């Protein structure tokens, strides 16, 4: 790493606290080469987070830190948000507010910046995000059913088949795999590795793919 990059990295992490994870936005996929090996990576863009509230067992029943990031516009912010986030350094509130469980949350203070060095190269994390929404789908595509014969006269091509029971219980049981909304739900992948962290560009590279479309907010937590 050059002296200029070392200086930028020092400036980016000076006075910033670290957590056991971060939130970042999915940019897309790429690849990097390490020791002659081509590694597929997902590029995540980190927006600097600031501690906006501390939760403790006495008042809230659990310990956690609330973080806010991406400043909001004045036209989209009410007076309560302006007052509540002013201590964290936001003039007009924040677009994104999330919580992260932390055993020693009381050691932090409101307004503390969270450094991207919370994650380091080689860390193993679990990633969570909203998966791509694919709309209303039939059972063949949604659940990978085989379907029926494709010949003429079958009458049973891509249908779900029987879904009922006998006289008792006389109803369709909850959880029956049928047609419906596919995707657009929280999905978690465990044991992904941090390939690299680039502080000067606020970029995190994660090995493999992560849930969601472009610009999806992804939660990365150390395991």
Give residue-wise pLDDT tens across range 3-40: 444 434 434 444 688 999 999 999 999 999 998 999 99
> Which of 99, 114, 129 is where one domain is finished?
114
Q: What is the CATH number of the domain that holds 208?
A: 2.40.30.10
Q: Is 84 within a domain?
A: yes
Helices (H), 47-127: 57-60, 79-86
Give residue-wise pLDDT tens across range 52-79: 999 988 899 999 999 999 999 999 899 9
Q: Is 153 within a domain?
A: no
Query: pTM (2 decimals)?
Result: 0.84
> Which of 114, 133, 155 is where one domain is finished?
114
Largest CA distance in the chain: 77
Total domains, the chain: 2
Q: Is 200 within a domain?
A: yes
Range of the domain at 95: 49-114
Give residue-wise pLDDT tens across range 159-212: 998 898 899 999 999 999 999 999 999 999 999 999 999 999 999 999 999 999
């Amino acid at each position: 790493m050059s002296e200029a990059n070392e200086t930028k990295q020092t400036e980016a992490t000076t006075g910033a606290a670290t957590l056991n994870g971060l939130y970042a936005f999915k940019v897309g996929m790429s690849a990097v080469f390490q020791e002659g090996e081509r590694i597929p990576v997902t590029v995540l863009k980190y927006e600097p987070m600031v501690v906006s509230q501390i939760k403790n067992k006495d008042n809230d029943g659990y310990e956690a830190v609330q973080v806010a990031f991406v400043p909001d516009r004045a036209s989209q912010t009410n007076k309560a948000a302006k007052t509540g986030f002013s201590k964290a350094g936001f003039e007009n509130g924040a677009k994104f507010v999330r919580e992260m469980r932390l055993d020693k949350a009381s050691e932090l203070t409101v307004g503390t910046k969270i450094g991207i060095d919370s994650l380091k190269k080689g860390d193993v994390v679990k990633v969570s995000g909203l998966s791509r929404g694919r709309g209303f789908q039939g059972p063949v595509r949604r659940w990978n059913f085989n379907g029926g014969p494709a010949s003429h006269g079958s009458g049973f091509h891509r249908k779900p088949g029987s879904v009922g029971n006998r006289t008792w219980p006389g109803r369709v049981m909850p959880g029956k795999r049928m047609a419906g909304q596919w995707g657009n739900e929280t999905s978690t992948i465990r044991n992904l590795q941090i390939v690299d962290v680039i502080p000067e560009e606020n970029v995190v590279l994660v090995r493999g793919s992560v849930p969601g479309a472009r610009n999806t907010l992804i939660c990365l937590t150390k395991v």
